[in-house]
Amino acid sequence: MVIIEVSLLSGFIMTSRSRALLENRTIVKKIEVKANVVYIYLEKLNDESQTFILQLEQVIQVKNLKPASIKIYDYYQPEERALAEYRAVCS
């Protein structure tokens, strides 16, 4: 099992439409939202490229918005991971 861990930008939430679109993907096993982190559980990955789009909605205006992180790792071998940062399009 593979987990994509998306830390949300301060003041943002994932839209319900975005969640529904992700849940309709056959590769997605489960989605959890805890505090300001979205966990996307995948059955497995292979060498085929995959694209996941999360639509976020700003619910609180935050000044000096800092980047947030996305981490992907194997549930059974968490040392096998990749980490990236993202920013709001408007910043």
Do residues 59 and 27 lie in contact, with contact meaning Cβ atoms separated by under 8 Å? Answer: no
pTM as predicted: 0.89
How much of the chain, in percent, has pLDDT values that exceed 90?
75
CATH class assigned to 2-86: mainly beta
pLDDT, one tens digit per residue, over 30-64 is 999 998 999 999 988 888 888 999 999 999 999 99
- Distance, in Å, from the CA atom of 45 to the CA atom of 49, rounded to the nearest integer, reads 9
Q: What are the boundaries of each domain within the chain?
A: 2-86
CB 15 within 8 Å of CB 22: no
Does the pLDDT value for residue 84 go beyond 90? yes
What is the spatial distance between Cα 57 and Cα 33, in angstroms, rounded to a whole number? 14
Instruction: Please give the pLDDT value at position 61.
Output: 93
Residue 5, pLDDT score = 97
Mean pLDDT, the chain, whole residue set: 92
